[in-house]
Amino acid sequence: MAAFPEVGKVVYEGPQSKNPLAYKWYNPDEVVEGLTMKEHLRFSIVYWHTFRGTGSDPFGAGTMIRPWDDGTESVANAQNRARVAFEFIEKLGAPYYAFHDRDVAPEGATLAESHRNFEEVAKVLKEEQERTGIKLLWGTANLFSNPRYMHGGATTCNADVFAYAAGQVRKCLEVTHELGGENYVFWGGREGYQTLYNTDMKRELDNLGRFFHMAVEYADKIGFKGTFLIEPKPKEPTKHQYDSDAAACINFLRAYDLTDRFKLNIETNHATLAGHSMMHELDYAGMQRLLGSIDANTGDLLLGWDTDQFPTDIYLTTQIMWVLLKYGGIAPGGVNFDAKVRRESFEPIDLFYAHIGGMDAFARGLKIAAAIRADGVLADMVKDRYESWTRGVGQEIEAGQHSLESLEKYVLGKSEIEPNKSGRQELFENLVNQYI
Ligand code: XUL
Ligand code: CO
């Protein structure tokens, strides 16, 4: 029996449509800069918020109505939920999904039992993938919910817990590979500290590097070729997460010699928690060729925590797509909705409204970003701003032909240096507004 009988396939009806269950901007087959929207955006639906989110918060119990869920932690319930998830994703027309091992299947009393549960549910995921053509963008192991991970998974002070985490990741990699996963994510849920007084930071980071090398070794053994992604986030749940922002992650990857297999999965609200914009984090990772995928949600400027809201801000999606286009797209990563409906949006239909809105916001951002790029006005203005580097001493410096001394001599030999030009920030901002 269908879980969403009142919803058919969500289709593109264009900006004039008044149908809340239709796309106004996301037209999967429309070509933008040589690729279809579907190929550019590579939308992915997350299993955890969408199918396991209860709506509970630190102040109150769950609110979500999910009629298909019998409320038990049985494997049969998990298998049934998996079928519902695919009905939902298929109706939305999203090409990908992503999961944590523990949201698709219940954790057992032992690691062996957890593995068995995971295998039983993975069989249904595989069947459903084959039935619908929906693919796995990435899998990840939950190394943060169970109390055993209170001190971390790969950065714990307890070597047995590290071993447990290793066993869990091995299995999750095996299942991700079996399901054709195109990437594998590590979000360092509790890989960080609450106080440095009790923390051997060097040992913890060395162990994290060791853990990732073990993952690479195992991937090679089973032939998993997907990209490994680490997901920057500065705090929450710990006071300081080791993967605090793109720069810290990239430094870590370089220090532990992992850049050939790892890239970053950048998430908007994590960027803002780190005191950066999403655009900054994307550009920083992109320029170093380490931009792998994005988690597409947003925060709330008035709330200081990770609210994981659906993205509806066209400026945000424009900025994201602008940077993604600049670096040649996001494949084999994707635009993954790591977002949850609000606690008050408790009906199943709200899941559709939320995703349709997010997908439309991204499609619109893609079109706006492509229009900005096609006109080239902004790019020309940036080029002009740096014009002094294309001639004379600027060109010589960039060609490596100068030293402090030779530059001092150059300046001493001139009566005046070239005057600065205006930065024209307001004009830049006005121009962006013209495309929105
Ligand atoms: C947590 C977060 C995670 C990761 C996957 O803030 O973003 O859901 O995306 O573990
Ligand atoms: Co995320």
pLDDT tens for 255-299 read 999 999 999 999 999 999 999 999 999 999 999 999 999 999 999
**Count of C-beta atoms within a 10 Å radius of residue 203:** 11
Q: What is the pLDDT of residues 78-94, one digit of tens each?
A: 999 999 999 999 999 99
Contact indicator for 99, 81 with CB cutoff of 8 Å:
no
- pTM of the predicted model, to two decimals? 0.97
Ligand 2 centroid to Cα of residue 49, in Å, is: 10
Residues 6+ apart with CB under 8 A from 159: none
User: Which protein residue has the closest C-alpha to ligand 1 atom 2?
Assistant: 187
Confidence class for position 349, pLDDT limits 50, 70, 90: very high
Mean pLDDT across the stretch 147-174?
98
Confidence class for position 301, pLDDT limits 50, 70, 90: confident
User: Which protein residue has the closest C-alpha to ligand 1 atom 5?
Assistant: 187
Rounded to whole angstroms, the Cα distance separating 179 from 135 reads 8
Q: Give the containing element (helix H, strand E) for 294.
A: strand 291-295
Ligand 1 centroid to Cα of residue 235, in Å, is: 12
Looking from the CA of residue 265, the nearest atom of ligand 1 is 9
Ligand 1 first shell, C-beta below 6 A: 100, 140, 185, 187, 231, 233, 267, 295, 306, 338
Rounded to whole angstroms, the Cα distance separating 19 from 7 reads 12
How does DSSP assign 104-144, residue by residue? HS---SSHHHHHHHHHHHHHHHHHHHHHH--EEEEEE---S
Contact indicator for 231, 140 with CB cutoff of 8 Å:
no
Confidence class for position 380, pLDDT limits 50, 70, 90: very high
User: Which protein residue has the closest C-alpha to ligand 1 atom 4?
Assistant: 187
Which residues are the active-site residues?
100, 103
Ligand 1 centroid to Cα of residue 189, in Å, is: 7
> What are the beta bridge partners of residue 295?
267, 336
State yes or no: pLDDT of 313 exceeds 80: yes
